[in-house]
Structure 1
Amino acid sequence: MFSSKKDPHGVKPAKLSTLIAHNVHISGDLEFSEGLRMDGQVTGNVTGRPGDESLLVISDQGAIHGNVSAYDVIINGRVVGDVMVAHFVELQPNAHVHGNIYYQKLRMDVGATVEGKLTKLDSMQSGPAALPASEVVPALDYSPN
């Protein structure tokens, strides 16, 4: 009845080998491999190493002012810039994204906000393919007043 198996379609397990603490502010582009947990601030682009199944976790204290690119991304903080995700993106309740999100698979919790377009990547092509109008869900702000 209850299974302990993880959803095989979600985020792949990765070792969070790097932490940017809440009191750290980095100015400049950042490239990482494996996993990165972001509790601090980055002004610049944050990119998972190409070819790696990298995981970026942005906590509710974390913020990025720049573009984000990784294999899997979990956002519970703030991103001002476009988010390009090769596999799976999860927007948790405190996520605030001011930019476009390109993804293969998406999970969005109540409370998350997106000010931009959600575009599903076509797995057969290298670039984004716009969602058919029947699949487009407007970004709604469910945050309490």
Structure 2
Amino acid sequence: MFSKSKINEPGSKASEAATPSAQPTAPAPSQSDFKSSTPKAKPPASVLSSDLHISGNLKTTGDIQVEGTVEGDIRAHLLTVGETATIKGEVSADDVVINGRIVGRVRGLKVRLTSTARVEGDIIHKTIAIESGAHFEGSVQRQDDPLSGSGAATKGGAQPQPAKAAEAGGK
């Protein structure tokens, strides 16, 4: 508080604050800190346009936004499924936002089905949000670590399989 009033006062006190050369060197390391964090900045999401059809698996540590069709599994940090998108395969991401259609298992720490979502398959999640109007056929299971695919052979794999059998019997 006192330093603010000294800075606001005109005259010799403002010039006294500017004379020490130690203050301009202090911001220099913080500027280099900002430079060191810029290479670590996350690249923008990879966008798969609506006219793109992919047959095969996708794996990235970054973000993916799908607007087209993917026949295969997807692993990502953040997966956004657009309204025009169709994914046939297993989806696994830290955050999954579904606006379009997924046929297959969904694994995510945070899973969100918007009002335009259509999911046919099981959802294994830590937290989930399902908006009114979303279509969902399958089972929902909460796990503390839903991304561990190897743990699916124990508790996670045993429960979703009967739900798939029930879906197949119902169709």
The list of structure 1 runs, each at least 4 consecutive aligned residues, that deviate by more than 4 angstroms after superposition, is 126-130
Aligned to 1:18: 46
Cα separation, 2, equivalents of 1:108 and 1:77: 13
Of all paired residues, the percent bearing the same amino acid is 34
- Partner of 2:133: helix, strand, or coil? coil
Equivalent residue, structure 2, for 1:115: 137
Measured at CA, do residues 44 and 122 of structure 1 come closer, stay the same or move farther in structure 2, by a change above 3 Å?
same
In the alignment, does 2:123 pair up with 1:101? yes
Number of residue pairs the alignment of both structures matches: 110
Partner of 1:42: 70
What pairs with 1:1-145 in structure 2 (closer than 5 Å)?
Answer: 16-48=44-76, 54-85=77-108, 87-123=109-145, 127=151
Q: By how many angstroms is 1:122 displaced?
A: 3.0
Q: Shift of the alpha carbon at 1:33?
A: 2.2
- Structure 1: any 5+ residue segments left out of the alignment? 1-13, 49-53, 131-145
- TM-score normalised over the length of structure 2: 0.60
CA RMSD in angstroms, aligned pairs only = 2.0
Q: Distance in 2 between matches of 1:35 and 1:79?
A: 17
Contact in 2 for aligned 1:81/1:98 (Cα 8 Å): yes
Q: What is the letter of the counterpart of residue 118 of structure 1?
A: V
1:29 partner amino acid: N
Taking CA–CA contacts closer than 8 Å with sequence separation of 6 or more, which of the two structures ends up with the larger relative contact order?
Answer: 1
Give the secondary structure class of the aligned counterpart of 2:45.
strand
TM-score w.r.t. the length of structure 1 is 0.70
After TM superposition, give the deviation of residue 17 of structure 1 in Å. 2.2
